Amino acid sequence: MDIQSLTKSYQKKNVPDINVGDTVKISFKITEGSKTRIQNFEGLVITTKHGKGLDGSIKVRRVTDGIGIERTFPIHSPLIVKFEKVKSYAPGRAKLYFVRDLVGKKKKKVVETKSGEIWEEPSADEEIARIEAEKAAEAEAKLAEKEKEEQALEEKFEEAVQAHLEEKTEEKAE
């Protein structure tokens, strides 16, 4: 087995066409304990490295509450479910590290063009449906357990009321 066939087995079939200057929304899987959920990260692509190869990656920057957050995503990661290109512009540079220093109106002066391209893993819808089904099953199990506990408490209460009434009738009989 040569290197090219080995790398093709790990590569995604339809690699997104994401360039520097694109605003993208990336949906990726996060596992916390035994739970898996899908989280979105939307921001500006400031660098791309190694093209569309197996080791290709993009660095996405977004500003939340005045704090800049940069995150690097490997393009061929199995944890990435979906890339969605929200808007794009041609910056005329290969790397947009200067965006880190821009604030407010200076950052907004860039001309943008909107395009709604979406790249999705073929099994993404199935994965999302499976995660939602797991969440619904957990919620139903919790609800059933809560109802069972409430019923047990109600039975206990009824027994206590009956015992109290029996004590009262015995006291009156004496």
Indicate the range of 2-6, 54-58, 120-124, 168-172 predicted with least confidence.
Answer: 120-124
Estimate to the nearest angstrom the gap between the alpha carbon of 4 and the chain centroid: 32
Q: With a cut of 60, say whether residue 112 has pLDDT above it.
A: no
More confidently predicted of 127 and 142: 142
- Give the pLDDT score at 71: 93
pTM over 0.75, yes/no: no
The average pLDDT across 93-101 equals: 79
Q: Say which residue the tokens 């899908």 belong to.
A: 38
The domain defined by 3-121 folds into SH3 type barrels. (2.30.30)
Pairwise CA distance, residues 92 & 21, whole Å: 9
